[in-house]
Amino acid sequence: MTREGRHLLAALVLRDIRSRFIGSASGWIWLILTPLLLLAVYGFVFGVIFQARVPEGLDIPFVAWLAVALWPWLAFSEAVLRGSRSILEHSSLISKVAIRRELLVISSVTSAFLLHMVGYLAVLLALHVLGTPLHFAGLPTVVVTLLTLYVLALGLGMGLAAVQVFVRDLEQALPTLFMFWFFLTPILYAPQMLPDQYARWLNLNPMTWWMEQIRAPLLWRDLLPDWSLLVMAAGALLVLWLGWRLFRRLSPFFEDFL
């Protein structure tokens, strides 16, 4: 990417982030406050009402087990969904300005991911202050894992954004599909809590790998990643390449359908 392209991308990301807080004098405060309020709600609902439990061997509240994986999922899902809508949302800009269209997808995915990462950091610090024994020495491994998750979101967002120009019903279907994907991913529950005949199918869900790689350094002190992180990185790069190829193949026809 050229220097001009990098500057334009940075400007688009900042524009997208600022647009989320237009009209709200305290918008930046809610960026931190909202995740903390959600953390309190989840703690009450799952810890007090449902009395959910963590896997054996972990001496932490269930809300900590949930939060460590929930915010990366929220970042991933919103990034993909916002990226998939980015071309349609900027249709007037595409028709008026000569711009590299993939930058619109990249900026939408990046801004959504960055905002949730700020909330994730606030949640981890809150859990630490409340006495949850998180192993912050594992943060470098978590950061690398989150980078691969961002690459996966970027690839999916790129491919879905291109297809959605031609298949408008996809905009209605994707939130429902992601809701199913959420419940098929061990975020609200541990794989060990499922019967054996169901638990073994979880590994067919790639997001299971990401959740385990995020939880392991922070909760079990597995500071160094294992071979599965290399597989995840390779898979994410493959999805990015396929999404980019599909986007480049379909982008010349966008204006005919926007």
Query: Contact 183/200 with Cβ under 8 angstroms?
Result: no
- Domain positions in the chain are 3-257
Long-range contacts of 192-198 (CB under 8 A, 24+ apart): 192/55, 192/56, 193/55
Q: Of the candidates 197, 225, 214, 250, which has an alpha carbon nearest to the alpha carbon of residue 71?
A: 214
pLDDT of the residue at 72 = 95
pLDDT of the residue at 34 = 82
Tell me which residues of the chain have a pLDDT lower than 70. 1-2, 21-28, 258
In whole angstroms, how far apart are CA 31 and each of 169, 211, 234? 31, 23, 32
pLDDT of the residue at 25 = 53
pLDDT of the residue at 94 = 77
pLDDT of the residue at 12 = 84
Strand, helix or coil for residue 149 = helix
Query: Contact 68/215 with Cβ under 8 angstroms?
Result: yes
Q: Can you tell me the distance from the alpha carbon of 207 to that of 90, in angstroms, rounded to the nearest whole number?
A: 30
Q: Can you tell me the distance from the alpha carbon of 112 to that of 149, in angstroms, rounded to the nearest whole number?
A: 13
Query: Contact 236/152 with Cβ under 8 angstroms?
Result: yes
Per residue in 138-153, pLDDT tens? 999 999 999 999 999 9
Query: Contact 59/97 with Cβ under 8 angstroms?
Result: no
pLDDT of the residue at 35 = 85
Q: Is 80 exposed, middle or buried (0-12, 13-18, 19+ CB in 10 A)?
A: buried
Q: Can you tell me the distance from the alpha carbon of 83 to that of 78, in angstroms, rounded to the nearest whole number?
A: 8
What pTM was computed for the model? 0.93
pLDDT of the residue at 250 = 93
What's the token pair of residue 23? 């009209």
pLDDT of the residue at 256 = 77
